[in-house]
């Protein structure tokens, strides 16, 4: 059965880079890629309370522009090394982006959402655009992969998974990460984030459970003593030249710290490391 991957695009260079990265990441699998463009989104969600009605001149012009851009996108991808395992589909919507994403996830039974970290209007010094932050925080049905603007695809050999061992993990939460690691023969670097050096009985139990869950793939435990989580993760990634960092998206204190906007900037700004939010 083909993996179904949704990639929102605003037809920017950053979005195209995210598409190419994801296509290369899943070169070995049968995949259906759905490219989503929400036209008229910027103009009609902040300055206006309504969206142009279908049939209106503004609506039809926006739809026509969207279709032309999709033709250009598919022509550009045709220059990419052809992969007979991959199929491309285009989806356009005049809905709000978050609603359009959720709708397609449901209708197409999407397995992964991949996004560039900036849009066409990305501001300098801002790692993740508001749309990417929204996706990582709000999408619960499937994992979200955020790809920094200038990252070039390299088959990942080490995926960093930061944890404080305070959660009782479920095997289902790691299914996607294990699949990705196996696909690229990557090792999972489990990074312990904790101020106290000694683990509690509960933490030791959770660590043992994590070992059991990851027994099918290569992994190693590492300890981070840096008090600043964002800086510590960034230093670890840079020192080891890791290829990706992954978190489990849970609504609790640790998650709120890791994915707060300032820390997202700390973790990833000036870094060429994609971030995978698991659910």
Q: What is the 3-state secondary structure (H, E, C) of the chain?
A: CCEEEEEECCCCHHHHHHHHHHHHHCCCCCEEEEEEEECCHHHHHHCCCCCCCCCCHHHHHHHHHHHHHHHHHHHHHHCCCCCCCEEEEEEEECCCHHHHHHHHHHHHCCCEEEEECCCCCCCCCCCCCHHHHHHHHHCCCCCEEEECCCCCCCCCCEEEEEECCCCCCCHHHHHHHHHHHHHCCCEEEEEEECCCCCCCHHHHHHHHHHHHHCCCCCEEEEEECCCCHHHHHHHHHHHHCCCEEEEECCCCHHHHHHCCHHHHHHHHCCCCCCEEEEC
Is residue 45 packed enough to be buried (19+ CB in 10 Å), middle (13-18) or exposed (0-12)? Answer: middle
**For residue 254, pLDDT beyond 60:** no
| Residue among 215, 169, 209 nearest 188 (CA) | 215
Between CA 87 and CA 224 the distance in angstroms is: 42
**Average of per-residue pLDDT across 19-31:** 96
**For residue 103, pLDDT beyond 70:** yes
**Average of per-residue pLDDT across 260-273:** 53
Domains of the chain with CATH codes: 3-147 (3.40.50.620), 158-277 (3.40.50.620)
pLDDT-above-70 percentage for the chain: 80
pLDDT grade for 46, boundaries at 50, 70 and 90:
very low
Between CA 247 and CA 276 the distance in angstroms is: 6
**For residue 145, pLDDT beyond 90:** yes
pTM of this prediction?
0.86
pLDDT grade for 117, boundaries at 50, 70 and 90:
confident
Q: Which of 101-110, 193-202, 208-217 has the lowest mean pLDDT?
A: 193-202
**pLDDT of the residue at 132:** 73
**pLDDT of the residue at 98:** 85
pLDDT grade for 129, boundaries at 50, 70 and 90:
low
**Average of per-residue pLDDT across 200-227:** 92
């Amino acid at each position: 059965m083909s993996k179904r991957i949704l990639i929102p695009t605003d037809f920017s260079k950053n979005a195209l880079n995210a598409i190419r990265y994801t296509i290369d990441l899943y070169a070995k699998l049968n995949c259906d890629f759905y490219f989503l463009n929400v036209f008229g989104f910027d103009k009609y969600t902040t300055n206006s309370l309504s969206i142009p009605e279908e049939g209106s001149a503004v609506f039809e012009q926006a739809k026509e522009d969207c279709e032309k851009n999709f033709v250009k996108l598919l022509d550009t991808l045709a220059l990419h090394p052809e992969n007979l395992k991959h199929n491309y589909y285009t989806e356009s919507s005049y809905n709000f982006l978050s609603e359009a994403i959720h709708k397609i996830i449901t209708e197409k039974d999407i397995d992964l959402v991949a996004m560039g970290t900036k849009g066409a209007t990305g501001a300098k010094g801002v790692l993740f655009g508001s749309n990417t932050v929204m996706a990582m925080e709000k999408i619960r049905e499937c994992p979200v992969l955020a790809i920094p603007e200038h990252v070039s695809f390299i088959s990942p050999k080490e995926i960093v998974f930061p944890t404080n061992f305070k959660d009782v993990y479920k095997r289902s939460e790691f299914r996607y990460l294990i699949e990705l690691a196996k696909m690229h023969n990557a090792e999972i670097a489990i990074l312990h984030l904790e101020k106290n050096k000694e683990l509690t009985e509960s933490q030791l139990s959770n660590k043992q459970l994590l070992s059991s869950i990851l027994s099918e793939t290569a992994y190693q435990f590492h300890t981070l003593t840096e008090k600043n989580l964002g800086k510590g993760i960034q230093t670890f990634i840079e020192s080891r030249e890791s290829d990706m960092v992954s978190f489990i998206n849970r609504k609790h204190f640790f998650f709120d710290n890791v994915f707060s906007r300032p820390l997202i900037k700390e973790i990833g700004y000036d870094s060429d490391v994609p971030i995978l939010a698991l659910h």
